[in-house]
Amino acid sequence: MAQPATFNGNYNSPPLQKDFTYTSDIVLPALVAFVSFGLVSEVATPVLGSVVRLQAHYSPLVRVVQTNEVKVDAAKAVPPTRPTSIFSMIRLVKNKEGWAGLHRGLWPYLTSNLIIPAVAGMIMRWSVASAPTTYQQVVGRAALRLTLISIATTILTLPFTVFINRSVAHPGKVPTSPLKAARVVLTPYERSSPLALYKAPGLLAAVFLKAVWSTVVVNGLKALVAVQLLETQREGGGLWIVGFAAFQALSTYILCPLSVVVVRLSIQKQNGSPSLPSTTQEKVETVAPSSEESVISLRGDEKPYTGLVNAFRTIKEEEGTGKLYSAWGMTLFSALLETFV
C-alpha cells in the first residue's frame, strides 16, 4: 500500500506544487464570484445605493442671523429633512423610482467584482511563483504583493466608483445600456480623455487610501491574528479575535468620513477646457431629469472641492461633522463582517 506523500522540507517538492492554468485558477473562480455576487446583488445593491445617496445628499446647515426685531442664536442650525437612515432611504427610493431605482449601478458593480478579484488573484499567483526560503524573502514578497494589489485596486476601482456613484446619485433616469449611461454620467471631457477621472482633485488619493487600508492594514492584521492563532494552538485565540474586531470598529471613525469624501469627489464632474466643442448634447432627451422632486439634493458646481483635505474641511464647515459619518452603521457592520470573512 502506497504511503501518503509528506512534506520533506523542500518548497519545490511535487506534492506541494500545482500546475497553474488560467481556466482553473482565474476564469472559473472569477465566474463563480460573478454568479455569487449576482445573487447577492438583489439585496446588496439597494443597500449600497442607499448608502451612496445618504453620503451624497447635500444638507447644508442653515444659520439664522440676528435681526433687530428678534435676537436669535446665530450658531443655531436647521436640521436636514431628508431620510437619515438606510431603510428610510430605501423606502423613499422605492416609492419615487421603483425597483429600477433601487438597482442603479448594478452592472458596473457586478463587473467590478469580477475584474478586480481576478487581477488580485493573478498578482497573488505571480508573487508566489517561486517559494521564498528565508524570513526576509517572506516579508519582502508580502510587502510587494500588498503594494501591487493596492495600486492595481486603485487603478481599477476609481472609474467603477465614479460610474456607480454617479449612476446612483443622478437626479434623472440612467439608461441600462453602458454606452448610453456613459453619456449621462460622464462629461464630454471625461469621455474624450481616458485619464480625466484620475485627474479629479483628491479622488485618486482618497481611493488609494481606502485600498491601502483594506489591503495592507486590514489584511496584514488579519494575517497576524491567524499566525498567532496557529502558534498558540487556539489558546487565547478569542482575545485576538475580539481585539481585531475592536480595531475594526474603531477604524470606522476613519473609514466612514473617507467614504463620504470618496462619494462627494466621485460625483463631482470634470468639465476640462471650456473650449471643447459642445458635441455632447447628443440625445439628451433620454437623460433629462424627472419632473418629480429628486430623492436627494446635490451640491452645486459653483465652488467645487479642490482636493482631499479641502473636501473634508468644506463638508465639516457647510454640513457639520455629523455629515462625515453618514451611514456609519453600515460602515461598522461591513468592518465587523470583514473580521470573520
**Which residues are CB-neighbours of 38 under 8 A, at least 6 positions away?**
110
d(CA 8, CA 332): 45
Q: Which amino acid is at 263?
A: V
**Which residues are CB-neighbours of 196 under 8 A, at least 6 positions away?**
189, 190, 270, 272
CB 278 within 8 A of CB 188: yes
What angle is formed at CA 14 by the lines to CA 9 and CA 17, rounded to 5 degrees?
Answer: 95
| Tens-binned pLDDT, residue by residue, of the chain (341 aa) | 455 544 444 445 444 445 556 566 666 766 776 676 666 667 788 899 999 999 999 989 865 444 444 444 434 444 445 677 888 898 988 888 888 888 888 888 878 877 877 777 777 676 655 555 565 666 667 777 778 888 888 899 999 999 999 999 998 888 888 888 889 999 999 999 879 999 999 999 999 999 888 888 887 788 777 777 776 665 666 787 888 888 888 999 999 999 999 999 999 998 865 444 433 334 433 344 444 557 888 998 888 999 999 999 999 999 999 999 999 999 888 888 877 76
Q: Which amino acid is at 134?
A: T
> In 3D, which of 58, 251, 301, 52 has the Cα closest to residue 161?
52
d(CA 38, CA 131): 35
Phi/psi of residue 174, each to 5°?
A: -115, 125
CB 77 within 8 A of CB 320: yes
pLDDT at 235: 64
Cell of 133: 526560503
Give the other-Cβ count within 10 Å of 153's Cβ. Answer: 22
pLDDT at 45: 85
Q: Which amino acid is at 125?
A: R
> In 3D, which of 160, 196, 210 has the Cα closest to residue 276?
196
> In 3D, which of 174, 54, 205 has the Cα closest to residue 108?
174
Phi/psi of residue 63, each to 5°?
A: -90, 135
Q: CA gyration radius for the chain? A: 24
**Cell 497573488 belongs to which residue?**
124
Give the other-Cβ count within 10 Å of 62's Cβ. Answer: 10
Cell of 268: 463631482
**Which residues are CB-neighbours of 243 under 8 A, at least 6 positions away?**
225
> In 3D, which of 79, 58, 57, 75 has the Cα closest to residue 66?
75
| Stated length of the chain | 341
Q: What's the CATH fold of domain 19-272+280-339?
A: Mitochondrial carrier fold (1.50.40)
**Cell 500546475 belongs to which residue?**
19
Distance of CA 28 to the CA centre of its chain: 25
